[in-house]
Structures are given as C-alpha cells and as structure tokens.
C-alpha cells in the first residue's frame, strides 16, 4: 500500500508542476485541476497516516530509551492515544485507493418494465417508480420521465426516467435486476397471493465523447404522442422513435414538448443503453466471480422480494430483510444500498491486493 501511495503522491506533485506551466490551454488546465482535486483527499489522508506512524515511532523510541518516569509516562500516554488511530486510518486509505467506478458521479436513466403478472406486474412497476422517485427526492436529486407506457389504472408496462444528482449512479447501480412482489391483488376475490415481477435497469448517462453512434446505424421515425389507450394527445408529430440497426434496440420518447427535445433525450438513452452493454461485457470478462457474489447488475437475477403479507422486503444478494414494507416503498432503501455498497467495496478491495 505504501508503494502505491508514493506513486500517487509523485503523480500529485507532477500535476501541480504541470498546472503552473500549462499556460493558455484552458481545457488541459481544467482536466489537470479536476484530477488534482480528486487526489487531494487521498494525499491529505496519506499525510495524516504517515504523521501518526511517525509520532507513534518516536513515542516508542522515547519509551525504550528514556529513564525519566515523567517522560516515560508521557510517551505511554501518547502511544495509548495513537495506536487505536492506525488501523482506521489504514482502512480509510485502502478504501480510497481501491479503483472507483468512473461512472459513479454520473446521472442515470432508470428503466422499469412490468414482467410476469399482467396488470398486477404493471401496478408493481408503478410502485417501484414511486419508490425510486421518493428516494431521489430525499437525496435532493431531480427526476424527469422520458417515456412511459401506462395501462390506464395507475400501472406502467414500461417507464423510463432520468435522475440527476451528485452520486446518483454510485447509489442506484445496485438496483438493476428482477424485483419480485408477493401480494393479494385488489381484483382477487378469493384472497390468493399472486407473484409478479418487474425488471429494473439502471444506466449511467453518457456523453457523445464516451460513445459514438453513427447516423448510418440509426433509423429515426417521427410520430404523434399518445396517451393511455392509444389516444393522440398532440396534433403535431413530436414523438421520436430511434431504432439502432446493428442491435435492433428501439428507444421511443414522447414526453418532451418539442421534436428536438425528444430526439436529444432518445439519443441520450440510446447511448446509455449501448454503453451499459459494453460495460457489462467488460465486467463479465474481468470480474465474473465478484459480480456473482455481489450482484451488481445482472438483468436476469432475482435481486429482491417484496412480500406484503409478511410486511417484509428481502434482498437476496446480501440476505438482508427489512420488516417495514411501507417505509421501503416510500423510498427508504438506504439500508440496502449501504450494505450493497459496503460489500462491493470489500470485494474490490480484496481483488485489488491492497488487503493482503
């Protein structure tokens, strides 16, 4: 770990020197300054760690060499104060040195699709939409629906919405997967419990520089926006449907007022989907074993069950249950996210070799 710290500190000094010589290249200066700011917490923690080790070494040396009882007592007091600080500082440094997901600070698109269960699945999809938007509100984030296909009774066959806010992807990335609900539908006269599912996909919003989609690979159609039941709600054709020809992927956006706004939003969603496909391929190749333990995004895996009769929500990846289902559905999912993040970080720390 100390060798890695030395490398980071040397790089930090190089950045500082280059910033003084960068001149009028403002783009380069901005990039260097951002990198320097990102490294500053590690540099500060490394200095605190080294200073603590040095003070501890000096106190132990004084205790070993000194005969004066008062000085020995002072040294013993300092040792007792400093020794408990070393392990937490070391743990904090290791955590900071683990490579972070470069997408963690990105805004996100969330897609929720009703799965098995018909109307009940669509209603559950709407419940999940409310859960995530309530969570976003609690974080101080903004959200906006990009596209939706509702069934007219308060449910969604599909809803796509963007969430903008600091660290949105870092917290919501663990929500991708199959969510299962067990409850008695309001239309069920015999009181039988039904099981339905909805699939959630969380994708980081990416820029054009992150992934390029040639015009030749897209088919763009313009159509009129429609409401529930297929009713036309606009006289002008402003809705946009983009088909990505190589993959057959289709993105339709109709919630913005202008055709241009819908096209820009559809392109952003398409880039996010394509970027996520490539990211998933890389993750599968690089750390399939870790993902199988942590479950950071497999679309096919059942990640969580919402059991209404038992007032229970269970996350199967970490075997954690919360017996307060209304609170969870109101957006209080911090306990799940915190535990998933902690375990993910522990796995990344183990695979980095810093924990050896």
What is the 3-class SS of the chain, one letter each residue?
A: CHHHHHHHHHHHHHHHHHHHHCCCCHHHHHHHHHHHHHHHHHHHHHHHHHHHHHHHHHHHHHHHHCCCHHHHHHHHHHHHHHHHHHHHHHHHHHHHHCCCCCCCCCCEEEEEEECCCHHHHHHHHHHHHHHHHHHHHHHCCEEEEEEEEECCCCCEEEEEEEEECCCHHHHHHHHCEEEEEEECCCCCCCCCCEEEEEEEEEEECCCCCCCCCCHHHEEEEEECCECHHHCECCCCCCEEEEEECCCCEEEEECCCCCHHHHHHHHHHHHHHHHHHHHHHHHHHHHHHHHHHHHCCCCCCCEEEEEECCCCEEEECCCCEEECCHHHHHCCCCHHHHHHHHHHHHHHHHHHHCCCC
- Tell me, what's the pLDDT at 105? 85
**Token pair of 60, please?**
């132990």
Q: Is pLDDT at 186 greater than 90 in this prediction?
A: no
Confidence of residue 143 (pLDDT cuts 50, 70, 90): very high
Q: Is pLDDT at 30 greater than 90 in this prediction?
A: no
Q: Is pLDDT at 292 greater than 80 in this prediction?
A: no
Question: What digits encode the pLDDT tens for the residues 329-353?
Answer: 999 999 999 999 888 887 777 776 6
- Tell me, what's the pLDDT at 5? 81
Residue 322 CB neighbour total at 10 angstroms? 16
Mean pLDDT of 48-52: 92
Give pTM, 2 decimals: 0.68
- Tell me, what's the pLDDT at 354? 62
Confidence of residue 230 (pLDDT cuts 50, 70, 90): very low
Question: What digits encode the pLDDT tens for the residues 12-26?
Answer: 889 988 888 877 788
The dihedrals phi and psi of 351, each to the nearest 5 degrees, come to -75, -20
- Tell me, what's the pLDDT at 297? 36
∠ CA 302-285-245 to the nearest 5 degrees? Answer: 80
Confidence of residue 290 (pLDDT cuts 50, 70, 90): very low
Confidence of residue 298 (pLDDT cuts 50, 70, 90): very low
Average model confidence (pLDDT) across the chain = 84
Q: Is pLDDT at 299 greater than 50 in this prediction?
A: no
Contact 181, 306 (CB under 8 A): yes
Confidence of residue 65 (pLDDT cuts 50, 70, 90): confident
């Amino acid at each position: 770990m100390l060798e890695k710290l030395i490398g980071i500190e040397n790089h930090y000094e190089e950045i500082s020197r280059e910033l003084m010589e960068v001149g009028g290249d403002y783009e380069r200066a901005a990039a260097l300054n951002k990198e320097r700011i990102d490294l500053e917490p590690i540099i500060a923690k490394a200095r605190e760690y080294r200073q603590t080790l040095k003070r501890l070494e000096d106190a132990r040396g004084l205790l070993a060499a000194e005969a004066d009882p008062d000085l020995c007592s002072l040294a013993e007091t300092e040792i007792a104060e400093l020794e408990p600080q070393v392990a937490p500082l070391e743990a904090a440094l290791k955590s900071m040195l683990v490579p972070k997901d470069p997408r963690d600070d990105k805004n996100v698109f969330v897609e929720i699709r009703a799965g098995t269960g018909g109307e009940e699945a669509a209603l559950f999809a709407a419940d999940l939409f409310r859960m995530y938007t309530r969570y976003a509100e609690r974080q101080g984030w903004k959200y906006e629906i990009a596209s939706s296909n509702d069934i007219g009774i308060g449910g969604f066959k599909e809803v796509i919405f963007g969430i903008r806010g600091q660290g949105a992807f870092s917290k919501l990335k663990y929500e991708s997967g199959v969510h299962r609900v067990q409850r008695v539908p309001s239309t069920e006269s015999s009181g039988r419990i039904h099981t339905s599912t909805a699939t959630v996909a969380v994708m980081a919003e990416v820029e054009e520089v992150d992934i390029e989609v040639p015009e030749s690979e897209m088919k763009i159609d313009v159509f009129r926006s429609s409401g529930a039941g297929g009713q036309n709600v606009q006289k002008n054709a402003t809705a946009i449907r983009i088909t990505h020809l190589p993959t057959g992927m289709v993105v339709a956006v109709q919630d913005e007022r202008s055709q241009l706004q819908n096209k820009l939003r559809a392109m952003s969603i398409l880039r996010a989907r394509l970027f996520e496909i490539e990211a998933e391929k890389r993750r599968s190749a690089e750390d399939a074993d870790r993902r199988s333990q942590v479950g950071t995004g497999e679309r096919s895996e059942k990640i969580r069950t919402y059991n209404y009769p038992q007032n229970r929500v269970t996350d199967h990846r970490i075997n954690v249950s919360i017996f307060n289902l209304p609170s969870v559905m109101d957006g209080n999912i911090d306990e799940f996210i915190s535990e998933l993040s902690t375990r993910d970080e522990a796995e990344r720390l183990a695979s980095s070799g810093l924990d050896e």
